[in-house]
Structures are given as structure tokens and as C-alpha cells.
Chains A and B, each alone.
Chain A
Amino acid sequence: MKRQLELKVNGEDYSLTVEPHRTLLEMIRNDLDLTGTKLGCGGGECGACTVILDGKAVKSCLMLALDARGKEIWTIEGLSRVGDLHPLQRAFVERGAIQCGFCTPGMIMASKALLDENPHPSEQEIKDALAGNLCRCTGYVKILEAVLSMAKPD
């Protein structure tokens, strides 16, 4: 039986109905048509589905869509403003921290959640925050450099 779901995504209010067995990721991609968030392993291991839910990075493939009732979600689509990349996105581009791009939305959302909570993370703190995100093009060094460049000195 479909249930009512009200939530805020990238600053906009949404009201829709979903079935209880739909994951948050399925709802974001299929119902909201926000396909920037990726389905990778589907088992919480690769981090490609990372979104920010009430300020915290979560794996949207392991949550029910109904878990997001009344919550605020940010996805990769919410970062750029009228064609202007978010500074974190620009840092990824400028440092070559992207290759095939599949892991990038998850990497950026996990990094953004970290930077929002802790604007001056150490290299180790960045590694901890990104431990749940896999990149199979093996671009970890450049990803780390991109996030470090955003970690403003104290």
C-alpha cells in the first residue's frame, strides 16, 4: 500500500506517495528524476548513493524512502547554482579528481557533509569520512587533494 511522503529535497518541498519497500535511492532516482545519485553496489559498500539527510551523509540504498518523511535531503543536483559549480565541485574538476565520474556525486556529498560539520578537517579526518566511498578508476590521491584544498586553514 502506498504511503504519503513529504520531504524537502535540495531546498524544494515535495509531496508524493511511495510503497514501503522502495529505498530512498529508488525514490530519488525514479520518482524525483534526480539521477545524479548513483546506484553502485546496492549493498552499502561503494558509497555512490551517498546523499545528505538532515546534515548527515547516508547511504540512500540502505534506507527506506519512508525514512525520509519530514526530512531535508541534499543531492549532487542541489550544489550548483544556475549553472555555477559549487566550489567543492570546482575543486574536484580543477584537481582532476574525476575520471569516469560514477563515484563523484557520492564522493562530493560525503565530503560536503564532512566540511559542513568540520570546516578544517585533517587529512586523516578526510580519509575517515571517505572510507565508505569506492573509486574504481583509483583517483583517491586527487580526490583527497581536492577536499584538502577546501579545508580552510584555521
Chain B
Amino acid sequence: MKRFELLEPNSLDEAFQLLSEYGDEARVYAGGTALVKLMKKRLVHPSYLVNIKGLKGLHYIREDEEGLKIGALATLREIETSPLVRQRLKVVGEMVHTIGSVQIRNVGTLAGNLCFADPASDPAPILIALGANLKIASSEGERILPVEKFFTDFYETALSRYEILEEIQIPFLPKDSGAVYLKHTMRVAFDLAVVGAAVRLDVNAKDDVCMSSKIVLGGVASTPVRVKKAEELLKGKVINDTLITKVAMAASTEVDPIQDVRASAEYRREMIEVFVERGLQKALERAKGGVL
């Protein structure tokens, strides 16, 4: 690793000040599991790290009437094992369990995972499907941005060098809604998604009619992708096996999958179909069974 200066603000305001001062030469350091790795490979070599690990008031997982609020310093492991998350939005805990290994989850944060913006990020698709927002702060004030608008390209986000992702806000699922995240990997454990499929269905419990849906894919493009044409096929229709098959096929033709070391584009396309189909089945089951 190249040498750098470790800057240690005592408050968010001090952190913003340091970021304004050092701009492109500085990086925010929280969990660091992704950043340290990139620095060791010399893909990133900041002259300054702004260490926010010690900042008070960013380390929490709590709820209000609308949903879960997760602070920038909450570790992935804390989210995975949080009784609150398990009771109120089980799908989030399930998704986090698939990230990295216990050692990584003990240190890495959800906010850091989003800011790193790996196209195969696991949280991104399901957070988009759940309609989550990000509270982004800077010396200029705060702004709220939907997760759906956060990712701009491979490892690029809408966050400027002067901003800090302060909080992730995840709305609770209404009654008669179901969501699931399915991850297809080459190894069972500790691998990145070849395809990550997040499906969220809002149904009318009486007749299984789909009121609205979100299908979001990770690992297949430079950013997470919503397959809106496939979603459109579900709207106002009774969800049954025939429709599910049709929607899954539509989803697989709606994207132009990337090809990389983990899989070919053709293979990804096939797997999108398989995992969207399974995701729709599971999400429907959950919507009807009242699983959060």
C-alpha cells in the first residue's frame, strides 16, 4: 500500500470540511474491506483517508413508522443478526447473509457496499426493489436520493467527493406484498453473483392480482437494472405459472448481459430467466403468506 495520511474528524462537519479541503485526493474510510483491498492493489491511491469510524451517531439500526433506518457505520453482520431486521424486513437480513464471509461482514458496512458500487453488489437490487432511499449529507446540507438513482456506472455513483452517505432508509413492506433476493453463484459460499435477482410483488390477496411489482437484476450490467417491460406484463394480471414463465422470459431478453470471468453473456441470460422465475414464485408465496 502507498503511504497516506489518516485524518480523523471528530464530527460529520469536520469530515465535510476535510473532504472539501482535500477533494479528489481524499477517500472516506469506514469499514474499509473494499477500499483497503483496492489500495493494496494500487487501483486507488488516495493521499488522505478521512476516517469516519469513530464518529458518534452513525452507528445504528432502528425503525420509525415508515421503515428501517440504517446508519453509515452499521456493519453487515450487525444487520444480518439484528432481531429488528429479522422481525420487520427479513429479506434484508437474508440478503446480507449472502455477502462475503463472516470476517468481512464483521467489518464491512452496508453504506460502504453501496458506495463501492460493485455491479454484483447484493444489497443494491433488493434495496431498489424495496424502494429504499439514501440520506446523503455534505456541508451544503442533506439530500434524499432513491437507491435506484444512486448507481451511475461500474463502480461509479451519484455521490460527489464532498458528500457522505449517512443513512439507508428502507420502507417496510405493506401487507400483501412479498420480496425475495436470489443470488446465483459458482461456489456455494463467498462468491459474487453471476446473477442477483430481487423480486417484489404487491398483490391483491383475494385473487392474486398483481397491483405492482419490481424486478431488479444485479451482476448483469454496469449498474443494477430494473426490467420494467417485464414488470409491466404483471400489472393488473392474475399471477399464475403461465404468466410467471412469460415474465421471466421477458426479463431475460430485456437486458444485454455483460460477459466476464464469472460467466458468459449467454449463460447470464439463461440464468436471469431461471432466477426471475424462482423469484416470482417465492415473492408470491411470501406475499400470500405474510412473510416480511
Contact = CB atoms under 8 A, between A and B. Distances in A.
Contact size range, B: 20 to 34
Contact of A132 (B2, B36, B40, B101): B101
A71 to B, nearest CB: 11
B265 interface: no
Given A43-B40, A62-B32, A64-B6, A128 B102 contact: yes
Residue among B6, B32, B39 with most chain A CB within 10 A: B6
Interface residues of A, number: 32
A23 B106 contact: no
B3 interface: yes
A38 B93 CA distance: 31
Contacts of A110: 102-103
Interface in A81-111: 110
B1 A23 contact: yes
A23 B37 CA distance: 11
B33 interface: yes
A132 B37 contact: no
Contact of A47 (B4, B37, B41, B101): B101
Interface in A1-27: 1, 3, 19-23
B6 A56 contact: no
B49 A20 contact: yes
Contacts of A57: 102-103, 106
A56 B106 contact: yes
B100 interface: yes
A64 B101 contact: no
A61 B101 CA distance: 14
B190 A131 contact: yes
A44 B97 CA distance: 17
Interface of B: 1-6, 32-33, 36-37, 39-41, 49, 53, 77, 97, 100-104, 106-107, 189-190
